[in-house]
Structure 1
Amino acid sequence: MKNLMCAEAKQIDLVDYLASLGHQPQKVRNHDYWYLSPLRDEKTPSFKVNRQLNVWYDHGTGKGGNLVDFGTLYFNCSVADLLQRLSQRQPAPAFSFHPPTTLGSQHPAPASFAGEKKDTPDSKIVILDARPLKEQSLLDYLQKRCIPVEIASHFCKEVDFLLYGKKHSVIGFQNNAGGYELRNENFKGSSSPKDITFVDNRTEQIVVFEGFFSFLSFCTINRNQQAPLTNCLVLNSLSFFEKSRQLMEQYKQVHLILDRDTAGMNHTRKALQWDGNKYIDRSDFYHGRKDLNDWLIHHHHSQKESQRIGRRL
């Protein structure tokens, strides 16, 4: 089958394409389709597709572009790999195509994505400062997530960053490339560059987490153990899962603590197909819960409730 050309791929309707990947808009306003970002975890939709322009913009990362820009980020692959992937999916499901844009090919207009300008100084997350955790609202947020401050302080910092001209203070979890995963009660995002976080405790086994709150939960659950924790890999995005295979393959056993949502379970199944002896699904431990932190919060509250009942009895 003949591969799609890049120009043809850019004309595929983004809304149709996202639907084929299982992503549905949370709200639609005129030509703007708002999604929970397919590129990261979030609870408030901040990923916008302008269907008329057939472009996207992710407010949480300040990135945007056309379908090719999205696909290479989503699958963490090259343009050539994406075009091959798209060709294999044609004609089923049949994507609708947008007519070619009439912008001048020699000197295209300044990039405007989903009605937003890409990578303007205001739209980028700019890290201002990183220091030990001390802001009370952040400590309260950790308590709400049932993570002891002493554990969070070992791996996280209090980070100030600037976005759209406004300063925010959040919990920052640094990755191997120097970027941060950024969280507080009202914000979930990341600064560039995006990468994995590898914690080397010099063991022969490794535990793999999707997000850093699951990693902190693992540290919390095992905090009374005398033996050192196993090596840990925090993906910070499932897009790094296959990219990290070479690292994971170096270990005798790989324990998977991925989210129990569709994407997490699909990646777990994929690893078990690679090698069912090396890769071990540990998500049964938090069966019925979204992830390990969700289990920890529920378990903590259940224990407190049991203690209250015990005192009444």
Structure 2
Amino acid sequence: MDFSKNRLSISEAKEIDMVHFLAGLGYEPAKIRNNDYWYHSPLRDEKTPSFKVNRRLNRWYDHGLGKGGNLVDFAILFHGCTVSELLQNLSGNFSFQKPVSQQSFAREEQEKQIKILGDFVLSSNALLRYLQQRRIPVDVADRYCREVRYELNGKVYYGIGFRNDLGGFEIRNPYFKASSSPKGITSFDNNADEVIVFEGFTDFLSFRAIHQQDPEDRFDFVVLNSVSFFETARPFMEKHNAIKLYLDRDATGQNCSRYALSLSAKYKDESSLYQNHKDFNDWVINFGKAEKKHIRQKLR
């Protein structure tokens, strides 16, 4: 995929969510305290997590190194690259190999470490509350998800599992976002003329919740589970007369949408619907909050 024509600026790169960026490198927080996400430092070996990301400020600080800054500062240290090389990498031009190999290795290692022990009907109170917080009805989640029990680093956990076409799971719980191997897209083929494309499964579930009254076969669907699988999904997507993209509003998602629009007039970017939110699910969670706040202020 070539996004080089839509290269990110430094200011855009700095706005990329650091927690999501670290997850893409295979790093998950060891603990979360309000806006502070604590990690075992990606920049060195340590036993006690001392690398902090303040998600509200989107800034990091490594207490062991005595260094901190924004995402660009971190990524240059982590990858050992120049600013120019970093921006090319983040824009989708994977011409230099060090960051790609590190990212792939970290993610693949994490996926190999996750062992699925079983999948069941959703029943955990913590997971049901998580769905409620994301404003996803349980009956909708039940149709497409399973409660997955998995082992990681010798410990057993539970999460909401969304199966891909290869048999692997995307796994979510209030504190963890991961995938089991093999990783791939999730497609739903109803022999429809139109296909709707999402980046993550919570966006797909939110869409299905809003459109529960629609006929089951009105649309086909693809959940990429990662924009890196866009090319994998193209044969399925492009057999349709219309392809509607509901990708994330971050730099990666918008670059992917622009790339798709350059390929064919079949593609249409629908993300302006939630332009002030990070993704479709975030829009659903916050829908009406601004209006309610305005009404409360008027009543004071």
SS at match of 2:96: helix
Distance 1:48 1:195, change over 3 A: farther
Structure 1 residue 249, shift from structure 2 partner: 1.4
Alignment of 1:50-69 (within 5 A): none
TM-score, length basis structure 2: 0.65
Distance 1:35 1:301, change over 3 A: closer
1:86 aligns with 96
1:297 aligns with 285
Contact 1:35 1:45 in 2 (8 A): no
Distance 1:258 1:40, change over 3 A: farther
1:222 aligns with 211
2:272 aligns with 284
Structure 1 residue 198, shift from structure 2 partner: 0.3
Aligned residues: 231
TM-score, length basis structure 1: 0.63
- Partners of 2:263 and 2:23 in 1: CA distance: 28
Gaps of 5+ in 1: 1-18, 28-33, 53-65, 68-73, 76-80, 88-94, 96-112
List per-residue Cα deviations over 1:118-145 (Å, max 9, x = no partner).
959x971000110110111111000000
- Partners of 1:247 and 1:40 in 2: CA distance: 28
**Correspondence 1:194 to 2:183:** yes
Distance 1:50 1:39, change over 3 A: closer
Contact 2:122 2:147 in 1 (8 A): yes
1:257 aligns with 246
Amino acid at match of 2:211: N
SS at match of 1:173: strand
The Cα RMSD (Å) is 4.0
**Correspondence 1:211 to 2:211:** no
Distance 1:200 1:144, change over 3 A: same
- Partners of 1:40 and 1:199 in 2: CA distance: 28
Contact 2:27 2:39 in 1 (8 A): no
Distance 1:40 1:234, change over 3 A: farther
Distance 1:46 1:202, change over 3 A: farther
Structure 1 residue 48, shift from structure 2 partner: 6.5
Which structure is higher in helix share? 2
Contact 1:123 1:164 in 2 (8 A): no
